[in-house]
Chain A
């Protein structure tokens, strides 16, 4: 059974069609890359998977671990093991990063019927994961993402991903706004999390990220659907030829 199965998904916002029969099957332990031009519906897809309520699903289905994903509220999806790394992580003035991380971890543990983490265990875990991502512990004392650089925000997303240990990670243009060093740190963070039990959907414009996070499957998305599927070589082909050919085909 596939971990994630998206079938013939149609979605719109304010009457504007964004997804037009989108299909995707992600097996356990696989890394899928979705590449596509601006406006192809990539971010919409990630928001719909995570449960943002702005979109209207007009047709199709999404199954996650055999369960109807679309009927679950966003926090329930997170508890089931779905994680979205935001393209634009939110700044939350007045809420300390540590409070946020701890509340998130304990909410998910509670929903899974696990006990809350003790303070020392939580602190140790956060310090360890933060060090791997080269996150300054001082940063964790600040309000969530407030005053963080673009790279720091993205690293903070990967930190959250590492702490919440999801089954499916959706990375929405995690490479945008990153310089080459930050890109490497983030990619290393993602690679550390790769396992036979965990899958990834990596959404990106550029092939660059895929040099660091090597995908098993590459999809080209345009006008709200998958136009072509292939191996890592497809990403390089795209980099050389551009998206135009696929957009015309649609």
Chain B
């Protein structure tokens, strides 16, 4: 028998395919972008949602977790802006705000007046309509392999924000890309953004996600970061989606010669979330840091999957992931460092630690190294454990009640990666988020 095996399509896959079909001819863009979308759509229709037999998605089985795919969100109106505005998860952060509501760039909620010299900000929808040089950069960092979340994002490529920081430009204050969801019924949104940081430029970018608590909306967001030679680029990310949301997010980054790149992802929202990072060292002597914290409770499921490609010599990378898992939550970290042939003198260290706050919480730590160069230093470590009772007793013996003692210990555990954020305002804002999470712990 040589029959072709066709997987049975789930209702969610069928709904997504229908949604792609309906959107196909309405989305803006020139031939290049249309081709990109078509290829992504075809790939999705061919392969569908990943399941547990797909290694990269083993612990986040979307075919099982995504039961239905709600319709695409309608373009947001004034009412939606008003609703969304209140949801900014970092309202006190002093930054240039660029707001996306349901995936659409909203100039009314964005601070795009008096841009600093060397800073350009363009909504993706406009770039696509004009087919400018930005539009042509979209998709440059796409990997060769199929990824369902990124393919879906690309198939619906429509709006988002494009940021260019010119060679030598140094941003005086951070840019905050605020991704908000509005609406009381479930809907799906897609956003695609791109940042091009020129040679010797300096920037701090914060990206946040939030939405209403009880609504099962689905967000798929992707961002491409092209960091030039000798640039210094810090990217801080807060996923604080509503508790019923599905959040799929992709970050693709490429860093040049002697660039300094830091990524600080904080995950605390959504019912199910997956954050996938692919970082390529495209230049020599670059330095990258990944320092993340995941705080989960209830029945939350959060997957952080990180792939680092050291492709050029003398690169350094440090990865630190900390997860605090309460109740019946499930935290997943898959970290993989690939050292390609020729990436000699690579120095890479990865550590992932999970703090289990309940007997029913679950942690998956999967560090991997793949090394094809012979003169490198690479290491990884992974731990998971409960709060140290001996430490706790020391607090109790000083009169500090158990809840407060636990809060201090959990804070000290998760604060480590957050303390590394160089920008003071962003660091304080993220530490405050962690503290709020601890205060809400029952």
> Which residues of A come within 8 Å of B, CB atoms?
50-53, 73-75, 77-79, 83-84, 86, 89-90, 92-95, 99-100, 103-104, 107-108, 111, 143, 160, 164
Contact = CB atoms under 8 A, between A and B. Distances in A.
A87 B402 CA distance: 22
Contacts of A100: 395, 398, 408
B396 A73 contact: yes
B401 to A, nearest CB: 5
Nearest 4 pairs between A and B by C-beta?
A: A94-B412, A78-B399, A74-B396, A104-B398
Given A74-B397, A84-B397, A94-B416, 19 more contacts: A50-B393, A53-B393, A75-B396, A75-B400, A75-B402, A78-B397, A78-B398, A90-B391, A92-B409, A94-B413, A95-B409, A99-B408, A100-B408, A104-B395, A104-B400, A107-B398, A107-B401, A108-B398, A143-B412
Contacts, number: 70
Contact of A95 (B399, B401, B402, B412): B412
A78 B393 CA distance: 11
B113 interface: no
B415 interface: yes
B391 A92 contact: yes
A48 to B, nearest CB: 12
B390 interface: yes
A131 to B, nearest CB: 21
B404 interface: yes
A183 to B, nearest CB: 23
A51 B396 contact: yes
A75 B416 CA distance: 27
Given A103-B404, A103-B408, A107-B404, A94 B415 contact: yes
A194 to B, nearest CB: 21
B146 interface: no
16 contacts: A50-B393, A50-B397, A73-B396, A78-B399, A83-B397, A92-B394, A92-B409, A94-B411, A94-B416, A95-B408, A99-B408, A107-B398, A108-B398, A111-B399, A143-B412, A164-B399
A90 B398 CA distance: 12
Contacts of A89: 394
Contacts of A79: 399
B271 to A, nearest CB: 30
Contacts of B391: 90, 92
Interface centre among A53, A94, A111 (most CB of B within 10 A): A94
A53 B408 CA distance: 21
Interface string B409-440: 10111011000000000000000000000000
A206 B198 CA distance: 69
A79 B400 CA distance: 9
Contacts of B397: 50-51, 74-75, 77-78, 83-84, 86
Contacts of B409: 92, 95
Contacts of A160: 398
A227 B245 CA distance: 67
A53 B413 CA distance: 24
Contacts of B404: 103, 107
Contacts of A77: 397
B393 A92 contact: no
B396 to A, nearest CB: 4
Interface centre among A74, A89, A111 (most CB of B within 10 A): A74
Given A93-B412, A94-B413, A95-B408, A107 B400 contact: yes
Contacts of A111: 399
